[in-house]
Amino acid sequence: MECEFPTVNSNSKEIKKILSETRTIAIIGLSPDATKDSHKVAAYLQSVGYIIVPVYPKEDTILGEKVYRSLSEIPFAIDLVNVFRKPDFVEDVVTDSIQRGDVKTIWTQKGIVNNHAAQRATDEGIKVVQNHCTMVEHRQLFS
């Protein structure tokens, strides 16, 4: 896997605005395993008042929330899509987000960068945060 430096990204001021305005977060790759980063981050986000929407290929509920198999299956508006998948998968997330028409931000966790996908999202008016942890950023900005 080739590592990319994020050339499309939001700055600290934009990140604070994004986290302030976001209410509903779809978490792509939210593991039911409490030892996994995706689970820890989702539990934190839920604990500080965000509505989390698990997107995972298995399970019926994670963290007490209904699990959806894909972003396109979620029947209500999503503000932010938080990605815990490999960089190549971000292309599909961007495509699904564009098709939904309601996603305001695509956020990839630490180590996940796909500049091509990020540029596509930005060109469609979707904000992008790459290679940042939502939990770490929230704690730094709001604690």
Report if residue 5 sits inside a domain.
Answer: no
**Is the pLDDT at 2 greater than 70, yes or no?**
no
Report if residue 6 sits inside a domain.
Answer: no
Report if residue 99 sits inside a domain.
Answer: yes
**By the 8 A CB rule, do 8 and 120 touch?**
no
Report if residue 4 sits inside a domain.
Answer: no
Number of neighbours of residue 129 by Cβ within 10 angstroms: 25
pTM comes to: 0.95
The model's pLDDT over 67-98, given as tens digits with 9 standing for 90+, comes to: 999 999 999 999 999 999 999 999 999 999 99
* Domain limits for position 25: 12-142
CATH number at residue 109: 3.40.50.720
Number of neighbours of residue 136 by Cβ within 10 angstroms: 13
Beta sheet of 80-83, edge-to-edge order:
51-55, 24-28, 80-83, 105-108, 127-129
Helix %, strand %, coil % of the chain (to 5): 40, 20, 45
| Mean pLDDT value of segment 16-42 | 97
